[in-house]
Amino acid sequence: AQRVTQPEKLLSVFKGAPVELKCNYSYSGSPELFWYVQYSRQRLQLLLRHISRESIKGFTADLNKGETSFHLKKPFAQEEDSAMYYCALRFTGTASKLTFGTGTRLQVTL
Amino acid sequence: ETGVTQSPTHLIKTRGQQVTLRCSSQSGHNTVSWYQQALGQGPQFIFQYYREEENGRGNFPPRFSGLQFPNYSSELNVNALELDDSALYLCASSQSGSSYEQYFGPGTRLTVT
């Protein structure tokens, strides 16, 4: 069965400090991994996906198949990065079902 | 372009009752997925509809059912409500094919007392 684990419920960092939100997954096939973000009073939205290999809002994430991880990183945290972050996995089945982790709240303080 | 909308925003039901939640997909999208998000948890996949047919289902009992209409809007029906059904219900729409991004609605907060 596929599973996504986000070990931290809350990550608090100072503005300008590096950020790493951890995500590990278990899946026997070739997964597609995503990071979704939910800012305060806004809906869930896609931040980035591993296949596009983009940097969005300064965030990057590299899929490490050996460690089955997809950690989200940003070198310098900004106040506006404070939000709830969800890691999600999708496999190519009959439905494009997303399996989400439990989420990590990132709090960036001055 | 109109985003995904859901109605109602909130509702309160009593255990044993039935509820219908509604979702209008984003313009140009023909696929709708429903998710349940319990407090402190990530969204859990309930099912997906594509061209009015169920196209995949998560680990939810049959009392969770759905419909998709010709205009691609969708309903989620839950019968015999239980206290554990209290959650935020999210709808997401996308174009067909797994490579397309899912766009989420704001959700409906259901409280079962």
Q: What is the pLDDT of residues A42-99, one digit of tens each?
A: 999 999 988 777 888 999 998 888 899 999 999 999 999 999 999 999 876 656 789 9
Of B36, B55, B65, the C-alpha closest to B97 is B55
Q: Which of A52, A51, A4 is nearest to A25 (CA)?
A: A4
At A80 the three-state DSSP class reads helix
Residue pairs spanning A and B at CB distance below 8 A? 62
Closest C-alpha among A16, A4, A9 to residue A109: A16
DSSP conformation class of B71: T
Inter-chain CB proximity B56 and A99 less than 8 Å: no
Cβ pair B101, B94 in contact under 8 A: yes
Q: Which residues of chain B have a Cβ shorter than 8 Å from any chain A Cβ?
A: 4, 31, 33, 35, 40-45, 47-48, 50, 55-58, 90, 94, 97-98, 100-107
Write out chain A residues lying below 8 Å of B4, CB-based.
43
Most A CBs within 10 Å: which of B99, B100, B108, B109, as the mutation test of the A interface? B99
Q: Which residue of A has its CA nearest to B39?
A: A102
The backbone torsions φ and ψ at residue A97, rounded to the nearest 5 degrees and listed phi first, read -70, 130
pLDDT in tens, B6-58: 999 999 999 999 999 999 999 889 999 999 999 999 999 999 999 899 988 99
